[in-house]
Amino acid sequence: MSSDERRHALATLAIHAGTERFDGAVVTPIFQSSTYASAGVTEYHQLKYIRLSTSPNHRVLHARLAALECGEDALVTASGMAAITTTVLSVLQAGSRLLAEIGCYGGTDSFFRHELPRLGIEVDFFDATTDPASWPLQPNTRAIYVESISNPLLRVIPLETVVSFARGHGLVSMVDNTFATPLEMRPLELGIDLVLHSATKYLNGHSDIVAGAVVGSAKRILAIRKRLNHLGGSLDPHACYLLERGLKTLPLRFRQQSASAAVVADWLRERVEVVHYPGIGGVIAFELDDADAMLARLKLFLVAPSLGGVESLAVRPAASTALEMTPKEMEAAGINQHLVRLSIGCEDIGDLLADLAQAWPSL
């Protein structure tokens, strides 16, 4: 990052950080070339080849994301899960243990429960909102993993506590910042080691690609990049182009979505007892009897998994993202059959409230 860029605010960085003017082009062109003439390279990871994440589209995007999350370097991946799995497998090896927040995103939770043990990595689950003295630390625990705003109950995790615990016990700290985005939280500034994203969600924001990202120190990102080169979950240049385009409007979109979400949360609080909304971001969860009937009546909100796009979505987690969990695991994560999650898009707030009102059960 140039010193000029360091002084810019996020809204400016989202549009300009890392930009290279290819032939003066205002927008980064799509470099649809799998390989490049690359004489003089001395290390494998420096070869220019799409799987090695070294195309110009990757380079610009990495610089942009590093600037937004205040990291030294970044790496984009073929999905959020590719970022999470590659990063965790880079940080941990057989014989070590992971401390993981209970109730993480369903795919992450399944990876921790069902894949890591097969590779000799055990996982201890903990509640990141409790006293750290009660967290189940073992002599071979090497890393800690949390989501900055938990999914789907939207609890804000005290990251300063996670940082001091990790530092005190020599753990690598990882935070999935998908729900908060760098507009609400910049975990690296607080001392977290690695920040992860499902870029499918707010960072891209248009529900048209699946992508992931990890941001951190240059040294850690290089180690993860070398592992990604072997595991193969790299992002295609066309998806890089779409993600770069989406990022430019992240601050605009997120501000609108957060403002509308606050209004919807107030509307819901007048009608149901349980509303989960931390006062930031664009996702809300609430409990409603016979939620499926209400969801079926929605016209503007689409009933679909995912979040963070300009289109408003509604979903019942127990019937979608948590489908891989057992009833017991769901209960531990606080997910019941009545829970509904809304992802507020960029439509007019009056139209969104009218849609909820026409779908609402009559008393």
Ligand X SMILES: *Cc1c(COP(=O)(O)O)cnc(C)c1O
Is 105 a binding residue for ligand X by CB under 6 A? The answer is yes
Q: Contact with ligand X (CB under 6 A): which of 85, 86, 90, 108? A: 108
Q: Using CA atoms in the order 303, 155, 105, 163, what is the torsion angle rounded to 10 degrees?
A: 150
Per CB under 6 A, does 204 bind ligand X? no
201: annotated active-site residue:
yes
226 is annotated as an active-site residue = no
Name the one residue in this structure whose structure tokens are 């295609």: 236
Alpha-carbon distance of 168 to 347, in angstroms, equals 46
147 binds ligand X (CB under 6 A): yes
Asked if 278 is part of the footprint of ligand X (rule: CB under 6 A), the reply reads: no
Tokens of 152: 């789907």
105 is catalytic: yes
Is-contact 342 276, C-beta < 8 A? no
Q: Minimum CB separation from ligand X for residue 210, in Å?
A: 5
Among 97, 186, 201, 316, binds ligand X (CB under 6 A): 201
Residue 311 CB: number of other CB atoms within 10 A? 16
Residue 200 sits in the site that holds ligand X (CB under 6 A): yes
Q: Write down the catalytic residue from 176, 220, 316, 355.
A: 176
Write out the two tokens for 12: 């400016």
181 binds ligand X (CB under 6 A): no
Q: Write the CA distances from 295 to 210, 231, 299, 315, 342, integer angstroms.
A: 25, 39, 9, 8, 10
Query: Tokens representing 312?
Result: 């408003």
Out of 55, 85, 151, 343, the residue judged to bind ligand X by CB under 6 A: 151
* 109 lines the binding site for ligand X (CB under 6 A): no
Residue 225 to residue 45: CA distance in whole angstroms:
8
Smallest distance from ligand X to CB 197, Å: 8
Q: How many CA atoms are closer than 13 Å to the CA of 323, on its beta-carbon side?
A: 6
Task: Give the binding site for ligand X (CB under 6 A).
Answer: 79-81, 105, 107-108, 147, 151, 176, 178-179, 198, 200-201, 210, 212
Just list the catalytic residues.
51, 105, 176, 201
